[in-house]
Structures are given as structure tokens and as C-alpha cells.
Structure 1
Amino acid sequence: MADAGPAEPSKNALKKAAKEKEKAEKKAAAKARELAERQKKEADDANDVSVDSYGELPLCGSVEFKPTNIPRESLANIAQHEDKTIVFRSWVVNARVQSAKLAFLNLRQGLHTVQAVVAASETLSKQMVKFSGNISTESTIVVHGLVKKTKEPINSASIKDYEIHIQKLFIEAKAEVPLPLQVEDAERPIPSEGLGDEDDKATEGGEKPIVGLNTRLNNRTLDLRAKTNQAIFVIKSGVCALFQEFLSQKGFILIQTPKILGAASEGGANVFEVKYFDRPAFLAQSPQFYKQMLIASRFQRVMEIGPVFRAENSNTARHLTEFTGLDMEMEFQENYHEVMGMLEDLMLFIFKELNSRYKKETDLVRSVYHVEEFKLPESGKVPRIPFTEGIKMLREAGEKLGDYDDLSTPQEKHLGRLVLEKYGTDFYVLDQFPLAIRPFYTMPSPADPLLSNSYDMFMRGQEILSGAQRIHDSKLLDKRMREHDPPVDPEGAGTKDYVQSFKYGCPPHGGGGFGLERIVQFWLGLPNIRMTSLFPRDPIRLMP
């Protein structure tokens, strides 16, 4: 019987072989394409006319420094450089490739934004166009570009009449993506008096997200890049400068008092205890004792700008556990209203100069929060409303409260609306507060033993300053401390030196302490005081 011939390959085997062959052919084709693309890129790179005009710079400080001697320009002065090439640092708000030969960038420097164009030409390559249009948002770059006047206004930039035609572009610091917070989202308003992130998923007009305050504060370095935030802190700096400018002209001396105390003062409540080597210490609630001790030391007028610490578990839209105090104390000649007049003129000066020197920043922030202009009285015409008159106004408006009750926050706001309606001003003073609700060092009123020579100042119906005539006689001070509720020991560790300072003769004096953050908050009409603190501290937040 003859042997059988070799078995024919099965259909499955043939199919498998065909697939293997097809796979090998595809792999070879892919390799060929990859090689061709690499060769093309190498050829393009070799022919890239812009190869030295773009790219990432080495980390500053990591290579030997070689000065370029090229001045860097500010976008604020762009109109002075029309048809000239300038060099400037900025960061990328956004970048997009329009086509293989055209890319647009929106660049920012401070509060200024400008449109930049990267257009391919005989001297600028398509590779540079592609590189420029793909730079990540928030990257820091150095630009060499020609300033050109535009035919039509550019609505997407704050600089509307000029644009930059980029000639060179280098990345100095590349931003990692994705960002935890988009800066453009931080430009939008937070929910009114919002404290949390309950509105993070909400949208504005059904499109743009509204980011909650906690998310912003948790990513504060990005949040602070928002133009509105930059403007807030320019204004805050301005208030400090104006405070010092006005009082310096009035003969006040800038002082710095201790913020670490050996014993709790002012009654000992609401203070933070810290470890000081082998013993406890306390963070200062205010510079009050030291201001008065300096008046007793023959310093006639003193002022201070410094941190204040309050251990109050107040989770509200206007309270912080650490804030900046603007404090002043001064002798007066005959009546404590001399001090009130000084404080009124100080605030009117600050308001007036904010309206002129910081109008751009003020208008920017108010445009986001749609706040009405702050209404001011004339100098010498600031309403000084007796506390009893304020109580009467509130009662007539339907509020129920006793003659000597303290005002709640809603009642303060209500009174602010009534004052605005009656006097046409957002700034006013309440005078002669009930003695029982003021500190023990407050001078009792000669008009009514249940009232005091004390006052608060208000903006938009909310308190910004508490002040008074201080007791400058050691015996009366001793008596008031013992009668206070709760009593304060004049021989206590935190009060003994303070009381002692008045035994050697001290002139009549008074003063007050402003909360800087509140001034900024109410001037701009912001919904939350945390927006006016770079890295706010409250009962919950200790980071970043």
C-alpha cells in the first residue's frame, strides 16, 4: 500500500498565517512611516529658520549667568512703544493654534492683558507657531515682539488698541497641567457670604462653573492670580499706606508693640495660649495696654499696624482669628470728641484717596460683585448718632430691643440702611455706648452712669472700629476693673504693670482700633472677609 502524501494545511492554519503576514506588513509599514516622519522632522528641524527663537530656557540659576543687557518693558507702557520691538515677561492666559501658520496667545502681566500673534513667514517657522500655540496655561514666558496698533478693538484683552507680533518666545517656567483651579474661574464672584463648596458644581448662565471659597483657599496661589484678587490686595496695601500717611502728617509716631504676652490681658478671655520655652504665653488680642502705657510715657500720639489674635469661635463672613489692626491713640485737650474728629477725618481721607489713587482697582472688583458706590459725607458732617438715638430709629423700624442692649449683626445692618436713607452716607459713628458692653478701661459717661464715652464707626452698616476715651486715673481704673462683669484683678500678672503706669500722672487720651480686612471688605462690598486675607485664619482653617 502506497504511503499517503503530506496533509494539506487546515483552513485555520492558513487563516492564522495570513494574519501573521498582515500583522508583519502593518508593523513594517508603521516603522517605515515612523522613520519617514522622523527623517522629515529632522529635515524640518535642520531647515527651521526659528530654531533659536523659541523653546524652553534652562532653569534660572542652573547655568552660568550671561547678561543680555536688554531692558524689560512693562505692558502698562505699551503705547509708548508702537512699531518698536520690546522684551517682556508675562504668563499665558490661553494659547491656541488657529492654523498651521497662525497661533494666538493671550498674555498677562499684573492687571494688564494683551493679545499676541505668532504668524509663519520666511523668518518664522511653522514649528514655532505649533510650539507657541500649545504652551500650557499659566506658564511664565519671555517674549520679544513688535508692538502694533490694531484696526479693531480687541475685546478679549484689557489692552484693546495694541497687540504683540511675536518674534521670539521662550518658556521660563512651564505650568503643569491639569491645574486644580482655573484662574478664569477665580475671576467670577463667589456665592454671597458663602463659606463652603456647596456651589462648586453650579454654573453661571448654565456654562461657567462657580468655584466655592474653600476650593479657592485650598489652592490659594492660583486663586490669588485672579485680577480681582490682585486688585483687592493692592487696595489693602493702599489703606495701610494712607493710614500711615495721614496720621504721620498729624504728628503720630509709628510703634511696634509685643504680640507675645506673659499673661492674658483684657480679662483673659478669647486668647490663644502658646508654649514659650518652659512656660505658657499668650498671643495679643490688641495693642491696647501698650498704646496707653506709651501715652503715659509722654508719647502724645501713636499708631500701629500689626497682627491681632482673637480666639473667638466665630464662623461668620466678617470674622477672622488673625487679622490686621490699624490702631491709634492720642492725648486730647478737652473732650474725647477731638479723637473722634481725628478718626473721622482719617477715614474720609482714606476713602477720598481710594477713590482717586486706587479707582482702577476699586472699579474692577466692584464690577465683578456689582456693588454700589460707597456714599460719603462731607468733612465735618459725618453723622454722630447717639446710641440711644440709634435704638430709637431701630424701634421705629420694628426692631425690639432694650435701651442698653448690644446690637446684633442684623440690627447693625438694619441701622446702616436707615442711616443711609436718612443721612445719605455709608459711613457714620455711633456714640455713647452702654458701659456694661464696653471694656473695663472705658470712661463712664457724665450724662448717664449706664453709658460711656465710647464709639463705634460703621461702613455699610457694619462695624469697622471700636474706640473710646480711656480711664487715665489709676484709682478709677482699679475700681472699674473690680466692678466689671466678670471682675478683673488690677494686681494680676497681665494687668499690674498697666495699672501701675497711670499712678505717675497720665493725660486724658482716647483712640481706637480698626480691622483692616473689614475696611477693605466693606469698601469693595465683598461677601466674605476671607477674600481680604492672603492666607486667612479662622476657627477651622490653619492651612495653607
Structure 2
Amino acid sequence: MERVFIKEILQSEPGKSVKLKGWVYKIHNLGKISFIILRDKTGLIQLVVEASDREGLKLEMPIEVIGETVVNPKAINGVEIAVQEIVKIADIHYDVLPFAINMGEIEANLENQLNFRSISLRNPRVRAPFKIQEEIVEAFRTFLKNECFTEIHTPKIVASGTEGGSEMFSINYFNRRVFLAQSPQFYKQMMVGAGFERVFEVGHAYRAELHNTWRHLNEYVSLDIEMGFIESEEEIMDLEERFLIYLFDHLNETCQKELELFKVELPKINKIPRIPLKEIQRILLDDFNKKSPEGNIDAEGEVIISKYIKEKYNSEFLFITKYPVAKRPVYTMPDAADKTLTRSFDLIYKGLEITTGGQRIHDYEMLKQNMIDFKLNPEDFSFYLDSFKYGMPPHGGLAIGLERLTMKLLDLENIRQATLLPRDMKRVTP
């Protein structure tokens, strides 16, 4: 008999013999019988076990069960298993679990849960965000392939940075100092010029930022897009808008159980407001007496303006546009109407930036001069700059932080809850 998953049993006819494998999630001893809740990756199911078969069973023990499906309206999902045979398939070697994982939400603090990550992830609620993440990535790939994009995989060991040297991790590479990539930015632009035209990547990015907050990580997953032959950055915002509509439809189809677990109802997106930074700063100052830093808004400002946009436009999303040249990377296209501004944007979702994007400089001489203006040596970036000599089309792109998007989707309190194995200023294990 082949093993079946719990979700398959819930769709089968009663009276069918089945083989299950999983972990002991709960044990209820009632005299001559026990009700045992079995957990596998697809869900939970109740087992009815004779007293003689329950000896030696402990919480989280892996077991194999053969039994018959029985309809029971009082059982989980209305089905239980009348057990005929039960086999302990692995020993366990603990006296007490680090914390209870079978009581709905884990009561242990987040640090302790992260210390015992392989245990905390056995809790269905703790593991649910990663089903959401899986489907975000699936939707990202499917949507972009339907838009004629090609998936690429770029190096994470690089000779120079794309966003600046102060936030880079250096590593010893055969007695040569190199860095962990902050983003695939240079490479995805090069691939646009190489003829792929439209590319995307799902990969890790590294930022040596001295922040240890609820929203910062030093290693995260970036969903990157670069698109050639565009007219302006508006096309990139249009693309992300369409992706979000597609994504939420996809999640409603594939993650209903996880969304219900977190009591989340995904919003309907019509048109995301697009407002220049200067106007956002004016609203914050005039309506909320909130001053903003030069050329940006801070974390508090993101929260305030999101509430304002929600009330005024009934939107949980906001594109902030026209950031100053001084606050954007060297490759960002200046705005034709005002050379002090750029054709760039951030996307704010529920009070947090989840995307940065914009149009890039595609002219070789302009890009070279911009590097000089930014006090960079063009020769240090020749591998990248030289690709612009041979006919680079107008292009632009964006990057979405996967963990930030997941966190805001599920209204989690800390980005580490949306990170399988977090890497921050204090944590490099497990």
C-alpha cells in the first residue's frame, strides 16, 4: 500500500484502507481508546487507536499508520481513521519539548522560536507564511513568463557594488577582496542589452545595514525585474500593478486555508495612486505636522501616508514617484522636466516600502558622466559600462522584497516571521 497525504484522504470515500505517515501532534487518552491527531505537511487528521497500540507514543514522534477512513462530523474535517496498525518509524530523544507547538499559536517569544526553528516550523500557523511565499514566487514566475520574460540567475559574488560600498559585505576570494551582491541590478541590465529584452530573477540579496529592527534583514530574497524598450517608468508601475492583481487572484485560489488562518482578506486593486515625493512630503507636513528627511520619508511617514491614502483613495498601496537624483543610485534616469529629480518610484504597502524601481540610464555617455558626477571611477565598472556601447534600449525595472511582501500580506509583526532562517545583525544560526 502506498502512502497518501491527509488532504487526499479528505477527498476519498469512507471505508477505504489507507496508509499515512506523519508526526504525533496531540494525544487524548480515554480509557481503552485514544484519539491521536496526526500531522503531515498537508494537514491534520484524527486517529482512533486501541489502548494496546498507544504505548510508547510521544508528541512529535514520526509514525506510520494503516487504517480505514470513517465519517465522523465531530472529527477534524469530518473524517477520522480507525487504526488497524501503527508503527513508530523513528525514535525521539527529548524529555520536554522547547515549547508547545500544538496549541494554535506558540506562546514562546520569537527569539526562542528562531533558536529552535525546525521545531517551531512544525506548527501549522508558523509554517503557513511559507506556503504564501511559495505561491508568491510561483505567481511571479507564471505572470512574467506570460509577459514574455526570461528567468535568469546572476552571480552573488561580485567585484563592486550597485548601490554603494558602505552597505556591502566583503569576503576573501582567493586572497582578493570581493563582495556579496546587494542586488542583480548591473547583470539584469546587461541581460536586457544582451538580447533577452525582459528578464527576472528570484535570488538572495545582501545588505550590510546597521539596523536590527522588525523590518530589516541582512540577507533577503529579492524578486527582480528588468524590461527593455519602455517609454517611461510608468510602464514598470503598470507591470507591477498587473502583477499584484494576478497575485491576489492566485493566492485566493491556492492559499485560502492560510489566508483564513490569519483572517486576511486580500484587497481588490483598481488603480494604485501615483504621487510625487514632494507632494507626499507636503501632505505629511500640512495635514499631520510631520517633517520628512531630505529627499525621502521615514518609517513613521510611511505609516501616516498609508493611512491617508487608504482613507482618501481606498487603496492599501501607494506609488511614491520622482525621488531626487542624490537619493537614487547612479544608473537612475534623471527626469526630463527637472534634472534634480529621477524617473523612479517606491511602492508602499500598508505603511512599508516593499518595492523600489524606475527607468535606468541607457545612454553610454550619460551613464559614464553620471558615474563621474557620483564620484565613481568608470573604469571600476567597465564590465557593466562597456555593455552600453553596443546599443542599449530604454529600459527599467524593479525589485520586490519577498519577506516584506509576505509580512504585510499576513499582517505579521516581525519580518523574521516571514523568513525561513533569518540572517540579521545578531543571528547567523541555525
* Shorter-chain TM-score above 0.5: yes
Retained in 1: the 8 A contact 2:150–2:200? yes
Determine if the alignment matches structure 1 residue 179 to structure 2 residue 109: no
Residue number in structure 2 paired with 1:238: 135
Matches within 5 A, 1:256-275: 256-275=153-172
Residue number in structure 2 paired with 1:334: 231
Within 1, Cα distance between the matches of 2:389 and 2:99? 59
Matches within 5 A, 1:504-519: 504-519=390-405
Matches within 5 A, 1:66-465: 70-79=1-10, 80-99=12-31, 101-119=32-50, 129-132=51-54, 134-150=56-72, 152-154=73-75, 157=76, 159=77, 161-177=78-94, 178-184=96-102, 187-188=104-105, 210-364=107-261, 366-367=262-263, 373-378=265-270, 381-401=271-291, 404-465=294-355
Retained in 1: the 8 A contact 2:321–2:346? yes
Aligned length: 428
2:296 partner amino acid: D
Query: Cα offset for 1:521?
Result: 0.8
Retained in 2: the 8 A contact 1:295–1:331? yes
Residue number in structure 1 paired with 2:366: 476
Query: Cα offset for 1:182?
Result: 2.2
Query: Cα offset for 1:258?
Result: 0.8
Within 2, Cα distance between the matches of 1:250 and 1:166? 50
1:72 partner amino acid: R
Retained in 1: the 8 A contact 2:292–2:298? no
Decide which moves more: 246-255 or 273-282.
273-282
Query: Cα offset for 1:397?
Result: 2.5
Within 1, Cα distance between the matches of 2:310 and 2:398? 24
Deviations 1:6-49 (A, max 9, x none): xxxxxxxxxxxxxxxxxxxxxxxxxxxxxxxxxxxxxxxxxxxx
2:406 partner amino acid: V
Structure possessing the higher radius of gyration over alpha carbons: 1
Matches within 5 A, 1:524-543: 524-543=410-429
Within 2, Cα distance between the matches of 1:145 and 1:332? 61
Decide which moves more: 260-269 or 166-175.
260-269
Q: Structure 2: state its 5+ residue gaps.
A: none
Within 1, Cα distance between the matches of 2:328 and 2:251? 31
Query: Cα offset for 1:287?
Result: 0.4
Q: Secondary structure at the match of 1:184?
A: coil
Retained in 1: the 8 A contact 2:168–2:207? yes
Q: Secondary structure at the match of 2:139?
A: helix
Within 2, Cα distance between the matches of 1:138 and 1:402? 51
Within 2, Cα distance between the matches of 1:74 and 1:510? 44
Within 1, Cα distance between the matches of 2:115 and 2:259? 25
Q: Secondary structure at the match of 1:513?
A: strand
Retained in 1: the 8 A contact 2:290–2:301? no
1:153 partner amino acid: K
Q: Structure 1: state its 5+ residue gaps.
A: 1-69, 120-128, 190-209
Retained in 2: the 8 A contact 1:301–1:331? yes
Retained in 1: the 8 A contact 2:162–2:183? no
Within 1, Cα distance between the matches of 2:116 and 2:425? 19
Q: Secondary structure at the match of 1:397?
A: helix
CA RMSD after TM alignment: 1.8
Deviations 1:91-121 (A, max 9, x none): 111224321x2222111122421222224xx
Within 1, Cα distance between the matches of 2:412 and 2:319? 22
Retained in 1: the 8 A contact 2:292–2:301? no
- Shift of the 403–102 alpha-carbon distance from structure 1 to 2, 3 Å rule, reads closer
Retained in 1: the 8 A contact 2:162–2:185? no
Within 2, Cα distance between the matches of 1:342 and 1:404? 29
2:102 partner amino acid: E
1:302 partner amino acid: V
2:87 partner amino acid: F
Within 1, Cα distance between the matches of 2:60 and 2:370? 59
Decide which moves more: 257-266 or 235-244.
257-266
1:460 partner amino acid: K
Q: Secondary structure at the match of 2:87?
A: strand
Retained in 1: the 8 A contact 2:357–2:397? yes
Within 2, Cα distance between the matches of 1:174 and 1:503? 64
Within 2, Cα distance between the matches of 1:89 and 1:356? 27
Retained in 1: the 8 A contact 2:295–2:323? no
Q: Secondary structure at the match of 1:81?
A: coil
Retained in 1: the 8 A contact 2:228–2:396? yes
Residue number in structure 2 paired with 1:6: none
Q: Secondary structure at the match of 1:482?
A: helix
